[in-house]
């Protein structure tokens, strides 16, 4: 298994390919060249953990062979940043782990994850310098919702209900700096929802790659219910880290980094394409990667606690940067 010192050396790269640009490999280096054959980017495959490719590309056997050899995952996205293909590096044959996953029936881990999510919602609202009375009251209310989750007798629907009301309150105050009607996943009906989808997508694929290091069945969750082709476990583990994306988008609005003219409105949805998407994917990914080591340790500790069937107190809690 990969150790934290090894992981610290790894890179997560988003390659936004313009027309005429090509991705290739040379002497075990990952290379992007422009239409004239000039090198725009080059890095060693030995340090690559996950590669997200935006644009048209031909998948070669050399690319897939290097993914297996060097242990990195590949995600393919359209110019509109919609995932359409994936090639994952994963640990095969961890049948004991999967047996434990399929046998697990408790709500204890789900409670733990949602508690951690609300903790992070509170922490990120507390980062605001000037707190109105309404914001202070909202933070106190979130603490109350968090306290309700200490009741271990809560069933799935009750946990879902607490999470839902807490998230609505949280989003109302996280984005009170602009006019916004709330979170509606995957609808892309406004710029915030589109940017949230993009940031969460980046976070999702990073956590997915980490879980695959241990051989999890990422479709078998402990909180999100199983549906056809939905990676419920990834959706579970992502939850405590979502506020990283939320806060960075709020900050971007305050810094004037979001230009409505960059976005296209097509068939009732906002979209980002090509070069206009580059700054947005860049600062979103940078915000996520500030915590990549903490995410790695979270997944590692989750694996160890789950495999050893430890009590819930041994499961990881994401609290922020490691001192």
The pTM for the full model equals: 0.89
Residues whose CB falls within 8 Å of the CB of residue 68, separated by 6 or more in sequence, listed in order: 89
Per-residue DSSP letters for 282-311?
A: HHHHHHHHTTHHHHHHHHHHHHHHHHTT--
**Per-residue model confidence as pLDDT tens digits over 206-244:** 999 999 999 999 999 999 988 777 899 999 999 999 999
Residue 20, helix vs strand vs coil: coil
Residue 302 phi, psi dihedral angles, 5° rounding: -60, -45
pLDDT of residue 177: 87
Q: Which two tokens stand for residue 86?
A: 């994936």
Residues 250-270, mean pLDDT to the nearest whole number: 95
Residue 53 pairs in a beta bridge with 15, 76
Residues whose CB falls within 8 Å of the CB of residue 10, separated by 6 or more in sequence, listed in order: 47, 48, 49
**Per-residue model confidence as pLDDT tens digits over 100-134:** 999 999 999 999 999 999 999 999 999 988 889 99
């Amino acid at each position: 298994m990969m150790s934290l010192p090894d992981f610290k050396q790894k890179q997560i790269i988003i390659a936004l390919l313009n027309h005429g640009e090509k991705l290739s490999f040379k002497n075990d280096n990952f290379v992007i060249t422009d239409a004239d054959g000039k090198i725009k980017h080059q890095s060693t495959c030995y340090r690559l953990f996950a590669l997200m490719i935006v644009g048209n590309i031909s998948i070669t056997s050399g690319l897939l062979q290097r993914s297996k050899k060097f242990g990195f995952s590949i995600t393919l996205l359209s110019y509109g940043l919609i995932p359409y293909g994936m090639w994952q590096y994963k640990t095969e044959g961890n049948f004991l782990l999967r047996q434990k996953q399929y046998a697990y029936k408790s709500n204890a881990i789900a409670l733990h994850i949602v508690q951690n999510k609300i903790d992070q919602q509170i922490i990120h609202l507390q980062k605001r310098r000037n707190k109105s009375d309404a914001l202070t009251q909202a933070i106190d209310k979130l603490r109350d919702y968090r306290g309700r989750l200490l009741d271990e007798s809560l069933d799935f629907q009750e946990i879902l209900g607490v999470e839902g009301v807490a998230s609505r309150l949280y989003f109302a105050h996280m984005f009170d700096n602009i006019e916004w009607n709330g979170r509606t996943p995957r609808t892309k009906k406004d710029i915030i929802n589109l940017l949230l989808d993009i940031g969460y997508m980046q976070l999702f694929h990073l956590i997915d790659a980490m879980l695959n290091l241990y051989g999890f069945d990422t479709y078998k969750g402990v909180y999100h219910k199983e549906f056809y082709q939905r990676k419920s476990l990834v959706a579970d583990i992502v939850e405590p880290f979502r506020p990283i994306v939320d806060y960075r988008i709020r900050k971007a609005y305050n810094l004037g980094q979001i230009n409505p003219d960059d976005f296209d409105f097509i068939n009732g949805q906002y979209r980002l394409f090509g070069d206009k998407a580059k700054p947005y994917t860049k600062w979103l990914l940078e915000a996520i990667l500030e915590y990549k080591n903490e995410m790695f340790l979270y997944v590692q500790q989750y694996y160890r606690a789950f495999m050893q069937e430890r009590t819930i107190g041994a499961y990881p809690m994401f609290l922020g940067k490691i001192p």
